[in-house]
Amino acid sequence: MSFDLWVLLVEQGWGFALLRGATVTLAVGLLGMLAGVIVAVPLALLRWRRLPLFSQAVDGYSILVRGVPGLLVIYLLFFGSIEWVQRLATAFGYQNSADSAYPFVIGVVAIAAISCAYSIEVFRGALEAVPVGLLEAAKSLALPRYVTFFHVTLPIALRLALGGLNNVWQMTIKDTSLVSVVGMQELMRSAAIAAGITRSPLLFYCAAAGMFFALTAISQALFSHTERFFNRGFSRG
């Protein structure tokens, strides 16, 4: 058995294929999360400021995406865009590069769209949790509005948002596995290919599970470290 393992994972190179898949998973997760957060901050501000129309639109987006399965969002984005992307790529003569880059790009977009919806809620909650007393203190010091925002509200809100963002990240890294369903070569897809060819699904799916577990465990440890750093000087509630 141990000999079989060696042959499968090292000599036939499936172990490396899985590791390569894991790096793609990590890349998609990180890019998706980053893009999601970057878009989520201004949207959360719109929502927080209760700007008419914008606020409702952001709310609608957030409720819709958080209410339907991630798989459905991914199907929408993949099947919904494949036709015009192909047409566009053919028109400009980038057929090949479009074919190879397409799953990755749309995968990142899909993951970003999902993580963004959850991040909006996190940021909104954090903005609303900033103590009113601090804002009143800033007002009584006659600080201009943007100073209050950038030096009082935002730093406190970001600290408050940290825990929620960690949850979103943990969810995002696990959601990347869904993109495998539409053919992106990440960890889950590599495991499925390896399982299909070698006919040992148990081994490869368990290996994929192990790698996902390592990813989430390592990021959890990193996060705890970061949280301690940002919470220095604050008493533990």
HSE-CB of 147 using CA atoms within 13 angstroms: 7
Site string for other proteins, 200-229 (x = CB under 8 A): xxx--xx-xx--xx--xx------------
**Site mask for other proteins (CB under 8 A), range 35-74, x = bound:** ----------------------------xx--xxxxxx--
Interface pick for other proteins out of 61, 174, 193, 231 (rule CB under 8 A): 174
* Stretch near other proteins under the rule CB under 8 A, chosen from 39-47, 136-144, 146-154, 186-194: 186-194
Dist. CA 191–CA 14, nearest whole Å: 8
69-84 exposure pattern, b = at least 16 Cβ within 10 A, e = fewer? ebeebbeebbeebeee
Residues 2-21 that bind other proteins (CB under 8 A): none
Is residue 89 classed as helix, strand or coil in its secondary structure?
helix
CB 208 to other proteins: min, Å: 5
Answer whether 68's CB lies under 8 Å from 104's CB: no
Angle in degrees, CA 121, 124, 127, rounded to 5: 150
175 is an interface residue for other proteins by CB under 8 A:
yes
Q: Is 177 in the site for other proteins (CB under 8 A)?
A: yes
Binding site for other proteins (CB under 8 A): 63-64, 67-72, 75-76, 79-80, 174-178, 180-181, 188, 191-192, 195, 200-202, 205-206, 208-209, 212-213, 216-217
